[in-house]
Structure 1
Amino acid sequence: MGFIGSQTDLGKLETIVYYRKFSKSLKSEIGLFPQVFILTIVILIENVSDHSYTSQAMLVCGTLSGYMIICSALLIGHLLGTPTPVDKRIDLLFSIGACIMFISSGAVIVDQWSTAYTSRKDKNTIIAAGAMAIITGAIFIADTLVIFRS
């Protein structure tokens, strides 16, 4: 048995510290693995198969439903009186993502889907939906600028 501070105790301490650092980095890398795996699968599916309409529908429906959930959660947090419901960096990430997604969705709707309908009323409805998506993207651009300057 050695006294505190002996060579064997310091060696054990160094081993424990090294193990804790290694396990933390391993946990963060393991947590990243499913995300990279899913992203790789999605990219492979999109490159191998021809799902042009399905991809467009997923973009538009995913944007609308995803940001409906995100904006509803932010609104509920604001109405409940939370001083800062989301960190500024996360809010910027949501807003920049919304800019890209809504403008992309609006462009797909106007460019690709407006020619799919023969009725004038349906075409006008599709063009209006695409314009509203682009306008929503512009609103999120303004929101990004406001968040960035605050």
Structure 2
Amino acid sequence: MAVSRLSIGKFLELIITITCLVLHYKSLHESDPQTIVLSSGTFVGYTVILVGLFAGYILSTPINKRIDIFFSLIGCALFIATGALILRDWDNGFHSVVNSETHKLAMWKAWLSIVNGVLFFLDVIFTFRD
């Protein structure tokens, strides 16, 4: 089976999403309920979606290009919004009582979320061109 750049991209997105989910579990001290709900839903939901899409690529099951682009566009928006909200929540000074290790984990979670959003956007471009 030939490994395409799309399957490598999906695998990378999946790894980053699972990493964000683990970091979210270890640094769940956001003060804004909307940030908690959006980040939890994005990380868990896209773990499920990406496992399904990646399994489709591995099993050589064709996935409709429009569906793939749809999931990637929504993922791009959700991951960038989640990362921005986490950054905003942790940079407002409310979390001064939380230890610095948790703060570092939250910052990693936010930046990895934004990077994953950019990867989803690149995925849209590559899928559209392919």
Instruction: Tell me the TM-score normalized by structure 2.
Output: 0.69
User: Whole-Å Cα distance in 1 between the matches of residues 60 and 124 of structure 2?
Assistant: 22
For the pair 1:129 / 2:109, whether they are aligned, the reply is: yes
Q: Which runs of 5+ in 1 are unaligned?
A: 1-51
For the pair 1:64 / 2:43, whether they are aligned, the reply is: yes
User: Whole-Å Cα distance in 2 between the matches of residues 81 and 144 of structure 1?
Assistant: 19
Within the candidate set 53, 75, 78, 1:101 is matched to: 78
Deviations 1:89-125 (A, max 9, x none): 1111000000000000001111103542532222111
For the pair 1:81 / 2:38, whether they are aligned, the reply is: no
RCO higher in 1 or 2 (8 Å CA, sep ≥ 6)? 2
Within the candidate set 34, 44, 52, 1:55 is matched to: 34
User: Whole-Å Cα distance in 1 between the matches of residues 127 and 55 of structure 2?
Assistant: 19
User: Whole-Å Cα distance in 1 between the matches of residues 129 and 58 of structure 2?
Assistant: 23
Q: What is the aligned-residue identity percentage?
A: 31
User: Whole-Å Cα distance in 2 between the matches of residues 58 and 81 of structure 1?
Assistant: 34
What's the Cα RMSD here? 1.5
Map of 2:129 onto structure 1: 149
User: Whole-Å Cα distance in 2 between the matches of residues 66 and 113 of structure 1?
Assistant: 23
User: Whole-Å Cα distance in 2 between the matches of residues 78 and 89 of structure 1?
Assistant: 15
For the pair 1:91 / 2:71, whether they are aligned, the reply is: no
After the TM superposition, which parts of structure 1 deviate over 4 Å for at least 4 consecutive aligned residues? none
Larger radius of gyration: 1
User: Whole-Å Cα distance in 1 between the matches of residues 125 and 57 of structure 2?
Assistant: 20
Q: Aligned pairs, how many?
A: 97
Deviation of 1:79 after TM superposition, in Å, equals: 1.6
User: Whole-Å Cα distance in 2 between the matches of residues 58 and 113 of structure 1?
Assistant: 16
Q: Which runs of 5+ in 2 are unaligned?
A: 1-30
Map of 1:110 onto structure 2: 87
